Structure 1
Amino acid sequence: MTSVAIVTGASSGIGAATARRLAAEGFHVLAAARRTDRLAGLVAEIEAAGGAATAVECDVTSAESVAGLAAAAAAAPGPVTLLVNNAGGARGLDPVESGDVADWQWMYEVNVLGTVRVTQALLPALEASGAGTIVIISSTAGQVVYEGGGGYTAAKHAQTAVAGTLRLELNGRPVRVIEIDPGMVRTEEFGLVRFDGDADKAAAVYAGVAEPLLADDIADCVAWCATRPQHVNVDRLVVRPLAQAAQHKVHRVS
């Protein structure tokens, strides 16, 4: 019987790349996101490549919407064995003293509470499969703070805390908890959302970095972790581009 993987935030970037990769690995993918037009294109692409996927409209900030995702999972053509909590994002790069609290609230709502809502809703199905895996896409920002990143690093630290706590609480039950912490990943939307559509500011983050990570690199990490034997739990995978030795140490070429 085909195993089902659920990927949130699947309409672009890491989520879309992960959906494609998991479908190639043989999962039936429930691709969940708010933008159904993009999901339709993604599902068509996966099916054209010989994979199987279903689009599910889902806003992780809405309990009602997440309940709809759980209902779609219950109707899926196989056991739900994998949940990839990928939905998230950043807004702003302002100091704490002048940061927009509304941006902080949005980042906490999407990154942290979104992960909690979806995990709560899908955990019964994951456990019932007898071999469940929860992947939480956090960030190196969940390990190290930096100037201007107070709201985002606070949210990602909290998301990392959720992952660690969940692993402790599920010990002895058949569900793995895997945290993946990417460093600099260049995707088409992350920076645009963070800088309110300012393409120049978004591009400046990666200026001079010859080879930042791409969404496919993170999808590869998800697939590798999720396809290890069930007794193998990759607690935390930190992945950065070669040019980034640490949060503040990035090699740039002119």
Structure 2
Amino acid sequence: MRSIHTLDELRALTDDPYLLWSAQGFRPGVRAWTDDSVGAVAIAVDFAGKDLLVVDGALEDVVRLVAATTGDSALWPIGDADLLSRLHERLPGYDLRRVFGWMQTTLAPAPDPRAELATVTEEPAIDALLEAAFPTSLARPGKPGVARWWIVRGSDGLDGLDACGADAWSTEGVGFLAGVATSTAARGKGYGRAIAATAIATLVSDFGAAALMVDADNVPARKLYESLGMSYRPLRAMVPR
């Protein structure tokens, strides 16, 4: 096992956008390892207050990497759903979380003119919209890693805002969409689609690819993003007991 220190070193092992995004440009605190003989990878990253260990590779090799890198730490192994389900059978002391999804595309949909970039003065209204419509959103105005917001204005939403979405935790090669929300009064008017289409088009243009996370059971959201050209990849996480 050896350490990986740069994005170029990681790219020499994989072109997987999820793994490359997970490394977050090797910002301070990110650590990564590989078993050169088989190409298994483990990336330790603090994301939204959770200490994750993103893993990929053959099961036996990932078992060894996790055992070698976690020790007594509270890292959460996370990766493809099938791999994590099998990993859970091999490693005691973890609870297996439900499936969620990574979605990605390199194709830019047509942007919707109803969605526009927000200004700093509109961030309090965005925060209020999220508090009402999506209180569990990890992306919030002013939070580290959140770069910009798109909004749809209207008369139905809070403080004149009907919908929002953020460019958050984007990194070289992968733009990331988060914090997509529509006010209750304005749902059914296509505002969420307007945000998603414009944001995805911009992220693909700026980074070469766009991605997001979605709950596996959020069928309407999955269908929306699939209609905009995104593919779905099931993931799971294991949480130390």
If the length of structure 1 is used for normalisation, what is the TM-score?
A: 0.29
If the length of structure 2 is used for normalisation, what is the TM-score?
A: 0.31
Which structure has more relative contact order (CA 8 Å, sep 6+)? It is 2
Structure whose alpha-carbon radius of gyration is higher: 2
Task: Report which of the two has the higher share of strand.
Answer: 2
Task: Report which of the two has the higher share of helix.
Answer: 1
